[in-house]
Structure 1
Amino acid sequence: MRNDISDLITFISQDDLWSGRLQEVVAEHLMPALDEFDLEYDDLPEVLGEPWPGVLWGCGFEDFLSRQYEDDNIVDLYLKRRGWNEPAANREYFGALRDTPVRLYEVSGVQPGVSMVLGDLLGDTKPVTVLEGSATQSLKQWDRIVVRVIAENDAHVISGALLAFSQEAVAFLIDGLSTVLSVDKNDELSLTTKQLLKCAPIFTNAWLFTALPRALSEELPELSNADGEDIMFHDLRFPFETGVTQKEVSLCLNEANFFAADGARCWTWLAPHSSKAPRERDGLMLESQTDGRTVLGHLELKGKALLINVNSSARADRVRNLVMNAAGQHLKQPLTTIRTVEQMMAEEQVESDLEDADEIPPEIARQIVQEHMDQHYRETLDAPIPALGGKSPNQAVRSKAGRAKVVDWLKKLENNSAKHRNDAIEEYDFGWMWAELGLQEHRK
């Protein structure tokens, strides 16, 4: 296994002093955000999903390897005591991790499964081509990432802990570094290796402080109905007894005063007019009303069965009893399907995708999108853009400061397009815009 760090981790775990130091460094990377959002490390798999808890721990671990304590550095100590048992490549890799700071890079020249070019955004190091098979499968042109780049023989590789940074995370990072280093926030940051090594926890915190709010807001709120019951969709199917017709069941349901006819074969189950006000509860209430009465469920005759939809377990029990009392002689016991809110949403998405699929042949759709985007962006070159101070791209490129803004604007356009779910938009080539504006040398 290339660059195997398992023996190094075992060595640290067997020493209480160094194990404690590692935990302290990892805490510097994680605890400010965890405390802010009232979370534990064990909550991260559920909130962020895999593999992020391990990656975040890796950020702290790689930082720990660079820490110099009064008595020693853990990499130096390990190599002195156990280095003889490690391949030369591993010894060199551990030493490189010790001396290499984490940096903020801009991604370009992505060759999926092969390599990418990384440009340093916080220092003066030259762009470097990195050999990488996994990360290049998902990274797009102009993405921003935080990682350590390690020189290995005549090539470069990245360390194990890589964080993709959103624009919001980059701004958070720049603000945090400027504050810690007492740099004017309007000045361009250029950090030395020593400064970067000391600021490693700020990178992880910038990612967490922007990723956690998004992840937590994406969680579905607690949903209940007007009776204060948890939302759980129940679909009940009452098969007809042998020889029973829809008309017979329909007559029984029409005689029941709690079911309001909604067509020849459909009914709405309504709460009585005297029903109490909805129960107060944290989260959101999922409910609808008709004529001031709460809708408790829907009934429909379909083929040789009565179908009923309600949104809680308690309502499923109640409507089962009501229906059997009203038309039980005509119906068999129901078959029930239960679905969560998440399952219902997933099913609706699948149905939507199927409806949209194959409406337009892919080659025609791609041509339509290509022509539309060509026309749109050609008009945009002469349109005022807020990000360019109200100037058009053609006007802004006439000054040095304006050209820098146009480059940033183009990168954002291209990066957003590369991440689009529509293949035609994702594959759109912005090269002509860079050429039109005379900025080809900035598009590596």
Structure 2
Amino acid sequence: MNQRKQQKDINKAIFNLIKYGEQAPWSERQVQFFSEMLMESANEVDVTVDEFGQVLEDNGCMDMAFAYLFELFATAYWDNEDFCMIEDYIKRRGWREAPRAKRYLQALAKSEVKLLEITDVNSGHWVEVRPVGSISKALRVYECAGSENLKRWDCIAARVISLDDKYLFSGGLLPFSPYQAQEVPALLEHACQSDIDILKEVRADDTKCQWSDEDIEEMAKIEANKQLPDILFSFWACQIYLSIIKPMPMLLNNDGHQLHWSKIKFPIDKSDIEEVERRLHAASQLDFNSTSKEWVWLDCDKNNIDNKGATVLGHLSITSKYLVATVNSIERAEEIRDFLKTLLNELIGTPLSVYKNSEHMMDNYSPKGLPSMQPVEAPEVIKASLDQYYRNILDEPIPMLNNLTPRESSKNKDQHATLIQWLKYLENSTAAVPHMSHYDFKWIWEELGLECID
């Protein structure tokens, strides 16, 4: 039997299962379950459940929510029953399904939701996944449609089903960014602490209760882990809702200036380049990076021993015709003009300026200041630009790395976990930008002396 026919049988079985859920007693239970799940999420953002659901519906997110919630509902055990809806359906109507589709339903009934990290992708064929925070060997999951939208280091709440010696995803899948996934342990810890408080109240009210603190902590941990699928849905739904209704924030740099990407080109004569370079090298606020062949403009003296946490105000580079200054605000553009006019005087001509505000940059989305690429640029041009951009970043303080540079963090083993998480975020963000998705980050891992995670 070919793969298309097998998938058609599974889709038919899921359709029949959904229709079965519209019958008593499952229909009433399903309404209650969906209402409670959406209500919990709506309460988190302080809106009515109708308003919350409408926002998800209007923005094309309700189908994803339904697929995930329906699987939660169909695999849940109600009251004192020892069967879930899927098992009830198989018992009563399983005879009507193709053998492989029936095995799929049986595996789905026993499956569990896990928060997974994508470690590799073969678009249109398979993805490899492992639990977030784990270093275990990844599972290869054969997924044709979904794999086209997944990137390395994406995170997903999903069920992995073993069927006929292959792993498959079920239909209910929720996407998370690497940063969002890092928040889940704190959410679980909060749920665990709430359960501990409740169990301690029960112990205080029942004089016959012999639970120790260790017993309570263990029970609370087990209960919190059972709540993981619900927690993941609520977190995902709230993040989606807030991203839709939240207005665009005003983005500011460290000086409180509104972000405007600014590139200023000062004409220079070829015969003056050597003198321009000499003066730039001598300037106390300009630190030359021999790897990227550019000067980093700092907010303090480069020779000052306390400048470890110095703010990078901009970058300077020289072409055959121009001295190019790149900064992130109009105010800094004015400041660098005055600075260079004083430093270089007659060696530079009248500058040409280009500005892009944060809204324009978001329209041409490029995460965390990645260099913007036009579709007409050749792959080798894009690669060269990214190579230069990332080489610069390796020597710049990063807030996520406690204001250390990536190179400094690589020399401190205690910083390696945070550094690896930052690299995952960097790689994942770049893959989201058109024309940059195939950029190979292996050299960065190697340059920082870290094992490249496969």
Shorter-chain TM-score: what band?
0.5 to 0.7
The structure 2 residue matched to 1:419, chosen from 432, 435, 449, is: 432
Are 2:143 and 1:128 aligned? Answer: no
The equivalent of 1:30 in structure 2 is 38
The equivalent of 1:405 in structure 2 is 418
Measured after TM superposition, the shift of residue 2 of structure 1 is 3.6
Pairs within 5 Å for 1:193-208: 196-208=225-237
Q: Distance in 2 between matches of 1:359 and 1:77?
A: 55
Alignment CA distance shift 1:210-1:432 (3 Å): same
CA deviations over 1:30-70 (Å, ceiling 9, x no partner): 22223445344587465554642122122221112222221
Higher Rg: 1
Measured after TM superposition, the shift of residue 157 of structure 1 is 0.8
Q: Distance in 1 between matches of 2:375 and 2:55?
A: 39
Q: Distance in 2 between matches of 1:102 and 1:125?
A: 17
Measured after TM superposition, the shift of residue 164 of structure 1 is 1.1
Measured after TM superposition, the shift of residue 122 of structure 1 is 6.0
CA deviations over 1:301-334 (Å, ceiling 9, x no partner): xxxxxxxxxxxxxxxxxxxxxxxxxxxxxxxxxx
Q: Which runs of 5+ in 2 are unaligned?
A: 1-7, 195-219, 249-358, 365-372
Measured after TM superposition, the shift of residue 7 of structure 1 is 1.8
Give the TM-score normalised by structure 2. Answer: 0.58
Measured after TM superposition, the shift of residue 121 of structure 1 is 1.1
The equivalent of 1:282 in structure 2 is none
Measured after TM superposition, the shift of residue 174 of structure 1 is 3.0
Q: Distance in 2 between matches of 1:182 and 1:122?
A: 21
The equivalent of 1:106 in structure 2 is 117
Alignment CA distance shift 1:139-1:62 (3 Å): same
Are 2:453 and 1:438 aligned? Answer: no
Measured after TM superposition, the shift of residue 88 of structure 1 is 2.4
Aligned residues: 298
Q: Distance in 1 between matches of 2:63 and 2:94?
A: 26
Q: Distance in 1 between matches of 2:102 and 2:177?
A: 34
Measured after TM superposition, the shift of residue 141 of structure 1 is 1.5
Are 2:71 and 1:62 aligned? Answer: yes
Q: Secondary structure at the match of 1:119?
A: strand
8 Å contact 1:397–1:403 — kept in the other structure? yes
Q: Distance in 2 between matches of 1:28 and 1:13?
A: 18
Pairs within 5 Å for 1:310-329: none
Pairs within 5 Å for 1:357-372: 361-363=376-378, 366-372=379-385
Q: Secondary structure at the match of 1:146?
A: strand
Which of 4-13 and 34-43 deviates more? 34-43
Q: Secondary structure at the match of 1:151?
A: strand
Alignment CA distance shift 1:157-1:197 (3 Å): farther
Q: Distance in 2 between matches of 1:415 and 1:216?
A: 25
8 Å contact 2:161–2:168 — kept in the other structure? yes
Q: Distance in 2 between matches of 1:117 and 1:360?
A: 30
Pairs within 5 Å for 1:193-232: 196-217=225-246
Paired amino acid for 1:33: S
Give the TM-score normalised by structure 1. Answer: 0.60
Q: Secondary structure at the match of 2:127?
A: strand
CA deviations over 1:186-239 (Å, ceiling 9, x no partner): xxxxx99985444321111001111101112369xxxxxxxxxxxxxxxxxxxx
8 Å contact 2:153–2:178 — kept in the other structure? no
The equivalent of 2:389 in structure 1 is 376
Measured after TM superposition, the shift of residue 167 of structure 1 is 4.8
The structure 2 residue matched to 1:89, chosen from 100, 107, 129, is: 100
The equivalent of 2:26 in structure 1 is 18
The equivalent of 2:345 in structure 1 is none
Q: Secondary structure at the match of 1:5?
A: helix
8 Å contact 1:66–1:197 — kept in the other structure? no
Alignment CA distance shift 1:359-1:157 (3 Å): closer
Q: Which runs of 5+ in 1 are unaligned?
A: 184-190, 220-344, 351-357
8 Å contact 1:145–1:162 — kept in the other structure? yes
Q: Distance in 2 between matches of 1:360 and 1:161?
A: 34
Q: Secondary structure at the match of 1:133?
A: coil
Measured after TM superposition, the shift of residue 400 of structure 1 is 3.4
Alignment CA distance shift 1:82-1:367 (3 Å): closer
Q: Secondary structure at the match of 1:56?
A: helix
CA deviations over 1:280-307 (Å, ceiling 9, x no partner): xxxxxxxxxxxxxxxxxxxxxxxxxxxx
Q: Distance in 2 between matches of 1:123 and 1:406?
A: 16
8 Å contact 1:30–1:56 — kept in the other structure? no
CA RMSD of aligned residues (A): 3.3
